[in-house]
């Protein structure tokens, strides 16, 4: 049998009508459990998978919907339904950009919360499939969570950010390495030579901090006259750890994972910014007028939808064997926490 098994091939092997096969593959209760299991076993044996885009289009026809409004799911798993939205947290909001790009491509992006009362992964997946939804954008996970269990083989899926580590899906995120490289280059351009790195606040993805720190170390090492300083490590008592580090390393500029606490600590020490010490904010807090590299969350959300639609069109479902990563490079924001560069620099 060819690997490209059709719906009719499965119907012939199972001795049923092709419409029965279609319903059985969607686990429809109209079909007996025995027939559903038999058809699903044949589909698995012969490598047949439902094409997610075709399935979604067929569902829209069955329900009288318009084809251009095929739905995609934006999946979140915060403790509360809206915990992922501003102002409940200070992380970038990718949802509006994802919604807009989905509409431009002829889709409707809807929010689904995994924390609904009584929800299980099977029930959640069944609800999506029954609505003809086979494409998932996975939103950032809350701090302390790094995994999500779903029946991935039933969907095409793309994750936002780097919080989801199990399973490893295709994902779209900021170019964190380039962000830190830009920060060091800007400091060097302005004459800073003792450029320190500070883990100033816990991040929801440890891998982000690793990329920031790696880029900082390499960039300082490659600079001819810059001094390599030990980074200020993460610590339970962050301010005291910072005080000890600051007195020992004597930085003239600080690249901080989050600038807000560092600005407060420097204030407690009587250090003026940027006159005595410059500060760059890697997290690019929009509420702090700090030198930073800023990424457009609308573009990141839109890129995730574009990647997802491509997966659906290519009939790529499940956890990928070779994970792809799309990185959006940010734009330098001057802010008030670095002295200005020399004229002509």
SS3 (DSSP) at 176:
helix
- For 104, counting Cβ atoms within 10 Å of its Cβ (0-12 exposed, 13-18 middle, 19+ buried), the class is exposed
Identify which of 206, 12, 211, 271 has the alpha carbon closest to the alpha carbon of residue 197: 211
Q: What is the pLDDT of residue 143?
A: 86
Tokens of 205: 């993805």
| Alpha-carbon distances of 33 from 29, 30, 39, 113, rounded to whole Å | 8, 9, 10, 29
Q: What would the pLDDT profile of 296-344 be if each residue is shown by its tens digit?
A: 999 999 999 999 999 998 889 999 999 999 999 999 999 999 999 887 6
DSSP codes of every residue in 48-111: ----HHHHHHHHHHHTT--GGGEEEEEEE--SSTTTTSTTS--S---HHHHHHHHHHTTEEEEE
Q: How far apart are CA 121 and CA 112, in angstroms?
A: 12
Q: Is the pLDDT of residue 218 over 70?
A: yes
Q: Is the pLDDT of residue 65 over 60?
A: no
Identify which of 330, 301, 54, 299 has the alpha carbon closest to the alpha carbon of residue 158: 301
Q: What is the pLDDT of residue 99?
A: 97
Backbone angles phi and psi of 232, in degrees to 5: -80, 115
pTM of the model: 0.78
Contact 160, 111 (CB under 8 A): no
Q: How far apart are CA 140 and CA 158, in angstroms?
A: 11
86-93 long-range contacts (CB < 8 A, ≥24 apart) are: 90/285, 90/287, 91/140, 91/204, 92/295, 92/297, 92/300, 93/297
Identify which of 10, 29, 18 has the alpha carbon closest to the alpha carbon of residue 126: 29
The winner for highest mean pLDDT among 35-49, 53-67, 134-148 is 134-148
Name, in order, each residue with C-beta under 8 angstroms of 310's C-beta and a sequence gap of 6 or more.
none
| Alpha-carbon distances of 35 from 52, 125, 307, rounded to whole Å | 22, 20, 35
165-170 long-range contacts (CB < 8 A, ≥24 apart) are: 165/207, 167/319, 168/319, 168/320, 168/323, 169/138, 169/319, 169/320, 169/323, 170/307, 170/311, 170/320, 170/323, 170/324, 170/325, 170/326
Q: What is the pLDDT of residue 49?
A: 65
Average pLDDT over every residue of 133-161: 95
The enclosing H or E element of 141 equals none
Q: How far apart are CA 283 and CA 130, in angstroms?
A: 39
- Give exposure, 325-338, as e/b (b: 16+ Cβ within 10 Å): eebbebeeeebebb
Comparison of pLDDT for 22 and 229, the residue scoring more: 229
Contact 283, 47 (CB under 8 A): no
- Residue 110 banded pLDDT, cuts 50, 70, 90: very high
Q: How far apart are CA 91 and CA 101, in angstroms?
A: 20
3-state secondary structure string across 285-342: CCCCCCEEEECCHHHHHHHHHHHHHHHHHCCCCCCCCCCCEEEECCEEECCCCCCCCC
- How much of the chain exceeds pLDDT 70, in percent? 91
Q: How far apart are CA 18 and CA 20, in angstroms?
A: 5
- Residue 44 banded pLDDT, cuts 50, 70, 90: confident
Contact 153, 318 (CB under 8 A): yes
**How many other β-carbons are positioned within 10 Å of the β-carbon of residue 152?**
18
Q: What would the pLDDT profile of 272-288 be if each residue is shown by its tens digit?
A: 999 999 999 999 988 88
């Amino acid at each position: 049998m060819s690997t490209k098994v059709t719906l009719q091939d499965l119907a012939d092997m199972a001795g049923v009508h092709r419409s029965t096969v279609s319903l059985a593959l969607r686990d429809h209760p109209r079909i007996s459990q025995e027939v559903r299991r038999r058809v699903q076993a044949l589909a698995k044996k012969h490598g047949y998978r439902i094409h997610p885009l075709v399935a979604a289009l067929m569902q829209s026809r069955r329900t009288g919907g318009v084809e251009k409004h095929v739905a995609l799911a934006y999946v979140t798993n915060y403790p509360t339904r809206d915990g992922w939205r501003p102002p409940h947290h200070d992380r970038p909001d990718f949802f509006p950009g994802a919604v807009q790009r989905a509409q431009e491509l002829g889709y409707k992006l809807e929010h689904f919360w995994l924390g609904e009362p009584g929800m299980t992964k099977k029930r959640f997946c069944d609800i999506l499939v029954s609505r003809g939804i086979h494409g998932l954008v996975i939103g950032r996970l809350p701090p302390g969570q790094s995994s999500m269990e779903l029946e991935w083989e039933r969907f095409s899926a793309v994750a936002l950010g780097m919080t989801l580590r199990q399973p490893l899906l295709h994902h779209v995120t900021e170019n964190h390495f380039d962000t830190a490289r830009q920060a060091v280059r800007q400091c060097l351009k302005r004459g800073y030579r003792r450029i320190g790195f500070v883990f100033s606040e816990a991040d929801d993805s440890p891998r982000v901090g690793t990329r920031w720190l790696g880029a900082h170390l390499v960039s300082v090492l490659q600079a001819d006259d810059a001094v390599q300083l030990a980074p200020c490590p993460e610590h339970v008592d962050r301010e005291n750890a910072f005080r000890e580090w600051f007195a020992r390393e004597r930085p003239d500029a600080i690249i901080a994972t989050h600038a807000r606490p560092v600005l407060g600590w420097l204030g407690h020490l009587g250090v003026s910014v940027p006159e005595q010490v410059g500060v760059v904010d890697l997290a690019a807090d929009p509420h702090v007028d700090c030198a930073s590299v800023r990424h457009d969350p609308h573009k990141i959300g839109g890129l995730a939808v574009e990647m997802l639609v491509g997966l659906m069109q290519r009939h790529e479902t499940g956890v990928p064997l070779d994970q792809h990563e799309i990185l959006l490079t940010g734009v330098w924001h001057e802010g008030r926490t670095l002295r200005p560069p020399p004229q002509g620099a």
